[in-house]
Amino acid sequence: MRSTTPKHRVFNKSIEKTLLFIILLAVSILMLIPLFWMLSTSLKNIGEVFEYPPKWIPKTFNWQNFKMVWQLVPFKMYLINSLIMSGFVTLIHLIVASLSAYAFARLDFPGRNTLFLLYLGTMMIPGQVTMIPNFILVKTLGWTDTYIGLILPNCFMAFGVFLLRQFFLTIPRDYEEAATIDGASRFMIFRKIILPLSLPAISTLAIFTFVGQWNNLLWPLVITNKEELKTLTLGLASFQGMYSTSWNLLMAAAVMGIIPSLIAFIIGQKYLIKGITLSGLKG
């Protein structure tokens, strides 16, 4: 058989790229359809929501739905509580995970690898299994219906340690050796060298943690009873009654609720792919 010519190879690669683009475009559209439907429903009157066949574009854009959300429920309080919980969990988790990952990646101590494997094994335990022990502990400490009880149990996750450790292992030790010769301490090396070089991985972990906590429903539902501590995920239930649901208002609240997560992703997107690739999470 005659070997493939360079022109044919270029043509085949073009076909492959075109097919890949079409597949990715189709998947992207499928993922965007629910978001577009949510936005469309948020701008409809309550009567248009139940029309059949459904209409993707409302007859009139009812922007009053967004205003009514702020008037009917303490939406501002829900947003602030979610920001407090997500922000503090993200900050504390980054501090704890970065210090732990540095110890597992750079410090030599007996049983380090075994301890890391055991720690990593906790990722296989569903969060629902540990929720009851966590609730009993928080209740014993008197932290129910408090920000401490809402925030602290979610600050310690093995995933963040794994992600940062994998990235720390890619940093050459030459930098640390040079800093040690200059008299730098372990903590100074961590603060002045490791952290600045690990900005992509730290940004990736920050986005994952913030978005995950922003969408957290189960733990706030278990730990809070006071209206003053309800997060946005709990506040959305205010639009669901026993016999009916205000779908247009619920979707309007959901649209406003995704804005902080979207902002966090836009700010850190340039580091996201790089952090995932360099930390070893690629497929």
pLDDT tens column, 34-80: 888 888 888 888 878 887 787 888 888 888 888 888 888 888 899 99
Q: Is 275 exposed, middle or buried (0-12, 13-18, 19+ CB in 10 A)?
A: buried
113-150: b or e for each residue (b if 16 or more CB lie within 10 Å)? eeebeeeeeeeeeeeeeeeeebbeebeeeebbebeebb
Q: Which of 135, 133, 130, 122 is nearest to 221 (CA)?
A: 135
The predicted structure's pLDDT at residue 282: 46
pLDDT bracket for residue 166 (50, 70, 90): confident
Please, where are the H alpha helices in 107-258? 112-121, 127-140, 147-151, 158-168, 174-181, 186-189, 195-197, 199-214, 218-223, 232-235, 247-257
pTM equals 0.82
3-state secondary structure of 135: helix
Residue 73 backbone dihedrals phi, psi, to 5 degrees: -130, 160
* C-alpha to C-alpha distance for 35 and 255, rounded to whole angstroms: 9
pLDDT tens readout for residues 215-264: 888 899 889 888 888 998 888 877 776 456 778 888 888 888 888 888 88
- Mean pLDDT value across residues 195-211: 88
Single-letter residue type at 158: A
